[in-house]
A and B are shown apart, each in its own frame.
Chain A
Amino acid sequence: MHAVGRPRRVVVTGWGVVSPLGPTAQSTFQAAAEGRSGIRSLTSFDPTGLPCRIAGQVADAGVAPPDPSLDPPVRLLSRGMRFMMVAAAEAAGQAALSHAADPARIATVLGSHGENPAMADVLRRHRYTNGAGQWDMAGLERERVGDPFALLRRKADVAAALTAARFGLRGPNFSICSACAAGAQAVGEAYRLIREGRADAALAGGCESTLNFVGFVGFQLLKAMAEKYKSPETASRPFDRRRCGFVMSEGAGAVVLETLEGARARGAVILGEVLGYGDSADAYRITDTHPEAEGAILAMRGALDDAGLSAEAVEYVNAHGTSTAINDVTETRAIKAVLGERARTVPVSSNKSMLGHTIGAAGAIEAVLTLMGMRVGLVLPTINYEYPDPKCDLDYVPNLARPLAHRVSLSNSFGFGGQNACLCLGRGDD
């Protein structure tokens, strides 16, 4: 239980991504390096008439259907969980996870929110309500329609439980529900478990698929999604003056983390390192970001403090960069507050310009892309950057990827409601 001596270094030995840009980490990174957009007209349901009708959908062809012979049963897997299984398999395979540690010492930490009910289920349930909170359950049960597994897929911990079962991981098992910060928090919490000696390895990440009627209408009501755009591909435009909201997307990201010592001992390829993690709560207003970015600053400084690094060490910031009017301004303020005078010279970019916002998966996917960029010496671009916003006045790596050898990066994730997470990531080659 107790941390003894010097904290253990935690390295990355596997990664996996399923995204609108590709079904693997490499295909996603390659497409992002080329500045391609994964945003298209929404086809997962008919959104005709909605102000926002675009999204970043994962191509079905890129995600293999679950093998019915495998545990867990296919009917338990939501679309988001299927993404998680694929991303986790990529990461676990690359890392040879089964050789990383005793299964009882391998944790599973995932950001996940469970599946939204289908519109048909909502209507079916409504037929048996009296509008005053009373339900005719006997009538509903008699009807014997609908998918009983939908109730199970709604549970946020199903993804972590089934992923652990699929890969035989018997250590701590967390399901983190912090919205847009969940994927980053999952990686950060897994890092802490290993650093503190509570686990020797971890499969961490996040998954999300809310491109369905209930999820989409919900976010539409919150007025946070892009509604004015010339084309799907140009709708997500973080830090650009004409940005008007985020574009909903889906996907999954996964990493395998383990101790540096363990990875070296078994000859695993070290892909990167988690140097530090900071998290905070705005505790300000439920629908507004703190105007002075207090929570974001706290998380970023916390990650640097945890890493034992000063702001001088930061060479790249993978921004949360949602393309909403408020986030991009307050995040710019936070970066300036943390990096000081250097803020204008440190490249900052948003993967969401190409991927859209994968909510609970975003922090994990962006951590993977940040690590991959460090490994090959490339900073991914912010595409659709055409009209500078005087309130967003940093180097956002506009439109084209930039070759840059860099060793230390920050990756920001800020959750709706006010939860903030920042990962300090390193190249892991020293």
Chain B
Amino acid sequence: MTDRAVVTGVGVWTPLGTDAAATWAALTARQTAVAPIRGFDPGAFAVRVAAVLAPLDEDALGVHPREGRILGIPGLALLGAAREAARAAGLADAGVASERLAAFVAMGTRDPNPDDLAPALVRAGGTGGPDLPAFYGGTYREIDPLWPLTMLNNVGFSLVAIHLAAKGENLVLAPGADAGVAALIEAAAAVRDGRVAAAYAGGASETLTPWGLSRALRLGLVGADGAAPGEGAGCLVLEPADAVRRRRVRPLAAVAGWAERTGDTEAATDALGAALAAAGGGPVDAVLWNAAGARGREAAARVAPGAPLVDHAPVWGHAMAGSAAVDAALAARAIGNGDPLPGGPAGPLRRALVVGHGAGGGYAALVLTTVD
């Protein structure tokens, strides 16, 4: 069985707003969430600003504080975005069995917090280094036993799956913007091929830490072209077009084509070109590519000449996998409502190319279009 995958709901949780409408309004009003970093002293870094999420209300999300600690702020944002997407899609009324409800997500890197482990080491005493026998003999038991879970991407994902009762196919990819788009692609393929009845697809950033910022700077993910680090998450609900027609829901957009490549500028061009070709060719109204950089602009100009490149990194930072998912959610919303995309071309958005790239040279591109 093959059927086109359509987007029936989107959810967004960014520093600009905790849902799609608020984020949309902030983007339309040309607000920016990029501000000086306050969580730590960024003086040693070349980038000292970021777009970070406000603390999330675990109670409001129905999440136990222990779960909240495992999820981290971006994981909580992903859960919030997924719930918004499910509501928008009317998923609760769709009659989808849990076993046929899938989740494909890209999650940012989880860096261990030194404060979780080191105090117990220090308390064990020792000169010239920790007294390991004393640590192993006693103080290591003072460490929160859930601490290891905070380091694992898939555990945060699994908590999201529990809250969404998504028992079907699942995938946790990590951690770049290419993975964010790849998660959407995997969901679209699973829906198209009838392997699942509906799928959550999205991405979440990592938490802004000194370690993450240092890494992103070394990799050139932030800093170049004014891209600041960002936090956030986005999620889409994808369903087969036929099933959506039967339950009389108006889809926002259709997934028309996609492609993935690895390498240099040529690979970027290949990925974009192959995605457009898979979607039947023709122009797009806009290319959404967060923190595209010079290489991205070059590839987009080659493949989609005349289509403006919409890069939201200057206003809400580069949230890696989260950025890609938010871009896709915003594009689907614009297409579905017949609106112009904030920061994009003046007319209604009808066809968009959403692109993500990762530090490892991965490029993933997806075409969203109107539903006939």
Contacts and interface: CB of A to CB of B under 8 A. Distances in A.
B167 A419 contact: no
Given A46-B132, A178-B154, A172 B262 contact: yes
Contacts of B169: 279-280, 302
Interface string B69-105: 0100000000000000000000000000011000100
Interface string B204-231: 0000011100110011000000000000
B151 A218 contact: yes
A136 B45 CA distance: 12
B218 A151 contact: yes
B174 A156 contact: yes
A281 B103 contact: yes
Contact of B261 (A46, A104, A136, A175): A104
B252 interface: no
A281 B166 CA distance: 7
A294 B161 CA distance: 15
A342 interface: no
A412 B318 CA distance: 38
A156 B109 contact: yes
B316 interface: no
Contacts of B189: 192, 196, 198
Interface string B155-169: 101110110111111
B359 A48 contact: no
Greatest chain A CB density within 10 A among B98, B140, B154, B166 is at B154
Given A177-B174, A415-B154, A419-B172, A220 B140 contact: yes
B361 A164 contact: yes
Interface residues of B, number: 92
Contacts of B155: 179, 286, 416-417
B43 interface: yes
A399 B261 CA distance: 46
Given A3-B193, A156-B109, A137 B45 contact: yes
A108 B360 CA distance: 12
A135 B157 contact: no
A135 B41 contact: yes
A117 interface: yes
Contacts of B119: 126, 131
A165 B2 contact: no
B158 A418 contact: yes
A282 to B, nearest CB: 7
Nearest to B111: A154
Given A114-B109, A119-B121, A417-B152, 19 more contacts: A48-B132, A49-B133, A122-B112, A137-B40, A164-B262, A169-B262, A172-B362, A173-B178, A176-B171, A185-B171, A198-B189, A217-B140, A221-B145, A221-B148, A279-B171, A280-B170, A281-B166, A295-B167, A418-B161
Interface of B: 2, 39-45, 67, 70, 98-99, 103, 107, 109, 111-112, 114-115, 117-119, 121-122, 130, 132-137, 140, 143, 145, 147-149, 151-155, 157-159, 161-162, 164-176, 178-179, 182, 186, 189, 192-193, 209-211, 214-215, 218-219, 257-263, 267, 270, 275, 278-279, 358-362, 364
23 contacts: A1-B279, A46-B132, A49-B133, A49-B134, A49-B136, A50-B140, A114-B109, A126-B115, A129-B114, A152-B215, A154-B215, A158-B360, A170-B267, A172-B260, A173-B178, A185-B171, A189-B171, A189-B186, A219-B148, A280-B170, A281-B167, A298-B168, A419-B154
